[in-house]
Structure formats: structure tokens, C-alpha cells
Structure 1
Amino acid sequence: MKKQIDKGDKTIWIHAASLGEYEQGLPLLEELKKKYTKNKIVLSFFSPSGYEVKKDKTPADVVIYLPMDTIANAKQFVALIKPELAIFIKYEIWPSYLRELKKCKVPALLASAIFSRKQIFFKPYGGFMRKSLKNISHFFVQDDNSKDLLNTIGFKNCTISGDTRFDRVFQILKNDNELVFMATFKGEHRCMIAGSTWPEDETIIVDYINQINENVKFVIAPHHIKSSHIEKLVDSINKKTIRYSKMKEATLDDVEVLIIDSIGLLTKIYNYADIAYVGGGFSTGLHNTLEPAVFGIPVIIGPKYDGFKEAEDLVELNGIISISNKNEFRRQLDALWSDNTYSKNTGKINADYIQKKQGATKEVMSHIVKLL
């Protein structure tokens, strides 16, 4: 940090726990970079899943790991970067850092925050963490419930701004999402894309692939791409299957299943889906449903989606379909393949939902302009 930040530098500090929070805060980071050209943007991570992926691929000027939350670390860190503003994304409450920022009269914002009654702030024994919240200058929350909960413990410095992730995923539509190999692979066929899958998801998907007789193509992009797992997955499929790392575009026409054993392609691959399946809902936790939903297609997930607000909303609206077993998976896919109107209407629910949720970045930026 000493090598990258000079004494005269003005900085804005953004902290994201991991890759998901980074993607959530990226619209803010980009806007800050455009508007405050004389400031260095310091981006900190806690998890390697964010730092290792984005340390060389971000608009931020300085990318670092955030040291552990001790009084000594907080003092040294804040003294080094001398931020004019600090922004924490979603859940990040670091008591020592927040206390030091307040002591140094640096505004600290919590952006795209979401609160639930289960959190320690709202428990009788949560006094220490409630005290930490007093060092946050302003809360930008995703929904009414979060604002109401903060109000119950005395915090009125709160704005319902929505979630900056919706601004992020909506930008996807403006990008160049063309992939030559996907256009060749899909051709005139219908195609289902299964993204961020775990073994529990893949068991259900492969069972369907092995039994279906219709002329449909499939893409599976596993969450883990270890060679041993990919080979086992390929061996379990009884249709012509190829790995992305071994494909030759000239041979893709008659391939029925494509396994993506590489990272960084999934967002663009969803552009070619007629139906998407998003993994994690049978195991560790649901992955990003907004990336396929923004393309206006039906999305299928497993049964565990509590706490994922956009999934909860879209299941209720019937844009995302939750299934609990292979029979339900088959039944829902067959219905979507056979009824084009049903499929289009389901996808439109998803696209409309994301369209209506735009604007969180603009809301937060309008507040920042008053501070800097």
C-alpha cells in the first residue's frame, strides 16, 4: 500500500467481502472512477475468491486484502490510505475500521445492504454490533423490511435504494455477448444452459439428458472444474459430449452436450439459452439467477433459495421455477419445451422484474455527490 499510495493522494475506499459483493458494487466503482478522476480507488477484499480473480481485472487503482479487524490494523490502514469516503458492500460490518473512520471524520456508507431479524444486530445480546452500526453515516438498503428493522433499533439514516446488482446485470445486455463457438454449437436447435452446477444438480440434469429424445442441445458449466470431476461428468452422459477445452468448432454441429471447463464465459453463454438452470439450490447455496434472467428466459433452480431475495420474488412471480427432484425437473422442462407461449411469458416476467429494479447506483451516487 505504501508503494501504491503517495502522501498527497486522495482516495475512495470500497470494501467487498468476495467476488459476489464485488460484482454487486461494481456499478458504484465504475461511476466513482468516472466522476472522481483525481481520486485513487482503493478496493479491498477479504476472500481469495474476489482478490485472486479481480486483482488485475478491475477499474480500481489499488487492490488489496483487508487486514484483520483489530484496532492497530484499523489505525494503520486508515492512516495509510487517508480515504475521503468509505463504502462497504452488503453485509460488511467491521467494528474497528468503522470506529477509526468515524474518529477520522470519514463518511462510511453501507450500500445494497439487506437485513433480517436473524442477524445479531436485532438480538438482545447484539449490543456490541449495534454500537458498530452507529459509525455508519448512511445505510442504503434493498427493501422495506431492512429499513423497518433498522428503525426498530433507532437508525433513521436509511434510504431504500434497491440493489446495485440489478444495474450490474442490466449492463450485460449492452455488452457484446457473441460467442462464435456457441452460435455454431446451438445452430437452429433449442438449448438449455445449466450454470454453476454442483453434483446434486448434475445428477438430475444428466438423468434428463440421457432420457430425452427431442432435438435439444445442452450446456453444463460446473461450479468446480477439476479435471477428475469433469471427466466423471462426461462419462455419465450417453450422448455425444465434448469439453470446451478440447473442442474444435468445425465438429460442434453434431455435438449434443457441451461441458464448460473454463471460467469467465458463463454470462455470455446464457445469451444462447432458451431455458437456464442455476445450480446450488440443492447444496451449498443458490448461485446468480439474475445473469440468465436478464436475457428474458425461464430459469429453473433447486429448492433451497431462502434468503436470496430476487429468487424469492421471482419464484412468487412465476419467472423462476423451483424444483425438488428429477421428476419435477422433467415435468417443468417438458412443459416449457412444448408450450412456447408459457416459456415466453415466464421469461418476460424475469426481464421485466430486472428492468423495474434499476436505479440503485444513481440513488447512492446522488448522496455521495453531497459528501465529496
Structure 2
Amino acid sequence: MENFRNSNAGPLAWFHVASLGEYEQARPVIASLKTKRPELAILVSFFSPSGYDHVIKKPQPDVDFITYLPLDRKSFAEKFVEILNPELAFFVKYDLWYHHIQALKKRQKPVFLISASLREDHSFFGFFGFFFRQNLFVMDWIFTQNQKSLELLKSIGYAKTSLAGDTRFDRVEATATSPKELPEIRDWVGNRQVIVVGSAWEEDMKLLIPLINSRPESRWIIAPHDLNPEPIDRWRNQLQSESKKYSEWNPSDTNSVLFIDNIGMLSSLYQFAKIAYVGGAFGKGLHNILEPLGFGKPVIFGKVKKASKFPEAEQSVLEGCGFSVSDEKSLLEIFEKLEKPDFYNKSVDSAQNWVKSNLGAANRIVDKVTELIPKK
């Protein structure tokens, strides 16, 4: 990092994210900030290897340097911030580290929390919340992604906050506007009904396999969470229709089921879907349901264990474009509903309207930041 700063000594904005999901929330803000302040270098720090390892593999638009965050010890944080010397800093969602934030404020650096998604059970609001709230009260501004977070902040007396919305909507809208074309998939799909299954886990496939076997005339595109051949081969053995792995597939093949055994295609595959299913809810946590919704596709997912951790799931159900299922029976019931044109078209309209109503969060954040911190 010292080498980077020696060769990039100008003004810099630091974004800290926990993992890949938070990085996706930061990306639209980074892009908007670069448009308004092109002279700023952008450094992104990660806490989780699952985020860092994924992002470091390919060039990231508008990002100049990627690193891990040092452990939150005072001496490490002081050294990190001293070398970095950012003009301003952004933390995403709720991954706040006391000594790093204190090191920034000691140097009178503006610090912002963006896409804040707070819950009553967070440490900020518990019995010892007065300690953890120190991280919140030194923020120059907190941008929340939902009304509930805004109200929680106001309930503890924090006033420098506003509802910006979820920046991921800007990201998914950008993907939906210009997806990878994938002409070979389009030819294979033809005019058949397509169901795209994103981030499938074992628990999801237990529900889905009977449904797939009952709809042999449809095209099924399945992107497993785990690319290990063993679960894919096991699932294929349970299917009555012919299936292929993408790595071994030819567009002229007549298989009904296609397993995507690579990384990077999923977000663009939703363009072909009539209906999407997103996995993970029965396991470690629901994956990104906003990607298919960005294409205006109704999305089915498992019943989440902790609804407050995935507010977009609950909200999508209320909006009428997301559908939570708990077993084979409820999956079949909602699938049959979505096969009826009136119900389906209403769901599509709901998805499109919800996405449109949330666009612009990144610009709202950057406009406020540039108002609070004018260019020197």
C-alpha cells in the first residue's frame, strides 16, 4: 500500500466492505463518485476472503487498489490510516471497526456509512450499545437503505441521517440494461419457457428436482452455489430429462437442463428467464434476489430463517414480485400460479415498478457527500 500511495499521492477515497455483497452495494457509489470527482483514487478494503478472492481476480472499474483490512488493533489502524491518508472514507452496511474509525477522526477525515441496514438485535442497540454506538455517532452522515434503519437511528438520538435506498438496485439495473448477449443460450432456449435457478444448494434442489421432472418441456438453467462435480452429478442422476454441464455442452444439444459450471454468467442468464429461483435461504443465507428482479422476473426463494437479515426478501413478497416457499407443495402451488398469465403479468409489473422506485440511491449519496464535503 505504501508503494501504491507513493505512485498515487493525490486525493483518495477509501471504501471498506465486509465481503462481496457489500462490495456490490459500494460499486454504484464508487462509479458515481468517480464521475463527480474523477481526480480521486479509489481504494477498497475487504474483511472477508470470500469477497477479496473473488474481486481480485479481474480488473474492477473505477477501483485503483484492493487490499485486506488489518485487524482492528490501535497500532495497526493508526499505521493503515497514516499510509492511506484518505480525503474521505466510506463504510458499507454495518461493518464498522472502532480503531480504524477513531484513527480517521483523529485526523479529522470525513467518514460516512452507506447502505446502512440496521436491526434491533445489533450491538448498537443492546445493553452495551453505548460502546458500539460510538462508531455511529462520529459518522459525518449515515445513509440508510430502508425506513426501519432510519427510525432506529433516530430512536437513539442520531440525526445526521437520510434514507437513500438500496444501491444494489442501481447495480442490477445497469446489468439488466446491458447483459452479456450469450447468443448460444438464446438459440438453445428458442421459444420455450425458461426457469433460471441461481446459487442452488442441496436443500433447494431437493424441492426443485420433482418440479423439474414434472416440466420436461421447459428449459432449466441451473447455476449451483458449489461448482464441485459431485453434487452436480448426483442431481443429474435424479433428473428424468437429459442434462448437460455447460463445459461439455454444445448449443445444438437437445437437453432440457443445463448446469452452469463456471463463475460469471449467472447475472446475465436471468434475461432468458420467465421465472427465477434463487437459492441459499435454507442454508447459510439467501443469495441475490435483486438480480432477476432487475430484469423484471418474478423470483421464488426458500423461507429465510431470519427475515431481518434479508429485508429485500420480505419487501419483495409485500410488493408481489417475490415468493417464499418452504416445501415441495408450496413451491408447486406458487409455480402453478405464475404459469397463469394474469398472475404472472401482475408479478412482472410489480418487479419493474419496485426496481424503478429504488433507482438513484448512489447519486443521492454522492450528491449529499459533495454538498457536505465540497471539493478543496
Task: Please report the TM-score for the alignment, with normalisation by the length of structure 2.
Answer: 0.95
Give the corresponding residue for 2:311.
Answer: 309
Equivalent residues in 2 for 1:142-161 (5 A)?
A: 142-161=145-164
Equivalent residues in 2 for 1:1-372 (5 A)?
A: 1-6=1-6, 8-55=9-56, 56-58=58-60, 59-212=62-215, 215-251=217-253, 254-304=254-304, 306-307=307-308, 308-337=310-339, 339-370=340-371, 371=373, 372=375
Contact kept? 2:270, 2:276, Cα under 8 Å? yes
Deviation at residue 36 of structure 1 after TM alignment: 2.1
Aligned partner of residue 173 in structure 1, secondary structure: helix
Unpaired segments of 5 or more residues in structure 2?
A: none
How many correspondences in the alignment?
368
Deviation at residue 173 of structure 1 after TM alignment: 2.4
Runs of 4+ in 1 over 3 A off after TM superposition: none
Distance 2:147 2:211 in 1: 40
Deviation at residue 207 of structure 1 after TM alignment: 1.4
What per-residue deviation string (whole Å, max 9, x for no partner) do you get for residues 59-78 of structure 1?
21011011111101111011
RMSD: 1.4
Contact kept? 1:27, 1:168, Cα under 8 Å? yes
Contact kept? 2:219, 2:257, Cα under 8 Å? yes
- Range moving further from structure 2, 196-205 or 122-131: 122-131
Contact kept? 2:319, 2:354, Cα under 8 Å? no
Deviation at residue 135 of structure 1 after TM alignment: 2.0
Aligned partner of residue 301 in structure 1, secondary structure: strand
Deviation at residue 126 of structure 1 after TM alignment: 1.9
Deviation at residue 57 of structure 1 after TM alignment: 2.4
Distance 1:285 1:122 in 2: 23
Deviation at residue 318 of structure 1 after TM alignment: 2.0
Contact kept? 1:297, 1:344, Cα under 8 Å? no
- Range moving further from structure 2, 75-84 or 304-313: 304-313
Aligned partner of residue 234 in structure 1, secondary structure: helix
Contact kept? 2:246, 2:258, Cα under 8 Å? yes
What per-residue deviation string (whole Å, max 9, x for no partner) do you get for residues 309-356 of structure 1?
12111112221111111011112212322x112111112111110110
Distance 1:205 1:259 in 2: 14
Contact kept? 1:297, 1:348, Cα under 8 Å? no
Contact kept? 2:86, 2:109, Cα under 8 Å? yes
Unpaired segments of 5 or more residues in structure 1?
A: none
Distance 2:240 2:257 in 1: 10
What per-residue deviation string (whole Å, max 9, x for no partner) do you get for residues 275-325 of structure 1?
000111222211111100111122111111612112111112221111111
What per-residue deviation string (whole Å, max 9, x for no partner) do you get for residues 178-231 of structure 1?
112210221111111111111000111111112335x21111111111122222
Task: Please report the TM-score for the alignment, with normalisation by the length of structure 1.
Answer: 0.96
Deviation at residue 97 of structure 1 after TM alignment: 0.6
Aligned partner of residue 366 in structure 1, secondary structure: helix
What per-residue deviation string (whole Å, max 9, x for no partner) do you get for residues 227-278 of structure 1?
2222212222121100011111222xx2100011111100110000000001
Quick one: which amino acid aligns to residue 70 of structure 1? R
